[in-house]
Amino acid sequence: MSKYQLGEFEEVVLLTVAILNGEAYGVSIIEEIEKRLKRKVSLGAMQTSLRRLEDKGFLKSELGEATKVRGGKAKRYFSLTNYGKKALRESKEQRMGLWNAVPEFVLN
């Protein structure tokens, strides 16, 4: 077993944060996921997931500048921590390991 415990949705969120690279905040992450995965995500689900990932240490966050568009409220930008990056890498390696182990004819 891996020492990193990542749920499917959590992994998606982490990857999206990585894709957005510095531009990841609540709404942009949701839009990115909707765009790429054609999957509806509510703000509630997203925010709880982000907080949890932050609590677990996969993500870190900082408040950005206040903008007028959002009623004067600042955006909270999320980025991966080293620990988060490690978790993603390990997750990928596990998947790849599994893929490689599948005999070729099975999936054909």
Partner 1 sequence: MIDPPRLVLGFFRWFCHPDCRDDIEGDLLEIFNKNVEAKGPRKARWLFVIGVLKLFRPGIVRPPGSGRYLNRYGMFKNYLFTAFRNMKREKLFAFMNITGLAIGIGCGFVIYKIITHETSFDAYHKNYKNTYRLITEFNHPQYGTGWSEGQIHPLGEALRNDFPGIDAVMTYYATDAQVSIVDKDGTVDRFHEYKGVAYAEPNFFKIFDYDFIIGDPDKALVNKGSVVITESLAMKYFKQPASEVVGKIITINNVAPLQVTAVVADPPSTTDLPFTLIGSYKDQPASNPYFHDGTDWNEYNSNTNCYVVTSETMPAERLTQLLPDFLSKYCGKERASFAKYILQPLSELHYDTRVSNYNKRMISKTMLGVIGAVGFFLVISACINFINMSTAQAIKRAKEIGVRKSLGVKKGQLIGQFLSETIFISFLSAIVGVIIAQFLLMLLEGILGYQLSVQLLKNPNELLFIIIMVIGIGLLSGFYPALVMAGMNPIKALKNSLTVHGSSGLMSLRRTLVVVQFIISQVLIIGTIVAGQQMNYFLGNNEGFNKDAVLVARIPRTTPEKREALKTVMEQQPGVEIVSLSCASPMANFRVENEIEHPSITADQRVGGNLKTADENYIDLFHLKLIAGRNLPREKDTYEAVVNRKLTETLGYSSPEQALGDKFKYSGDMEFTIIGVVEDFHTVSLHQPIENTLLSNLPWNIFEIAMKVNMSGRNFSEIQGTVNGIKTEWDKLFPETIFDYTFLDQQIARMYENERKTSQLFQIFSAVAIFIGCLGLYGLVSYMANQKTKEIGIRKVLGASTGSIFSIFSKEMLVLVVVAFLIAAPIGWYVMKNWLQGFEYQVELSSLFFMVALGITIGIAFLTIGYKAIVASYANPVDSLRSE
Using CB under 8 A, list all residues that contact partner 1.
25-27, 30, 42-45, 47-48, 51-52, 63, 69-71, 73-76
In whole angstroms, the minimum distance from the beta carbon of 46 to partner 1 comes to 8
To the nearest whole angstrom, how small is the minimum distance from the Cβ of residue 102 to partner 1?
A: 37
Give the CA distances from residue 65 to residues 18, 19, 69, 77, in Å, rounded to whole numbers and listed in that order. Answer: 21, 21, 12, 10
Give residues with Cβ within 8 angstroms of 77, minimum separation 6. 22, 23, 24, 25, 61, 62, 63, 64
- Kindly tell me which of 65 and 104 has the beta carbon lying closer to partner 1: 65
Nearer to partner 1 (CB atom), residue 66 or residue 96: 66
Straight-line distance from the first to the last Cα atom of the chain, in angstroms, rounded to the nearest whole number: 29
- Shortest Å distance, C-beta 85 to partner 1: 23
Closer CB to partner 1, residue 73 or residue 92? Answer: 73
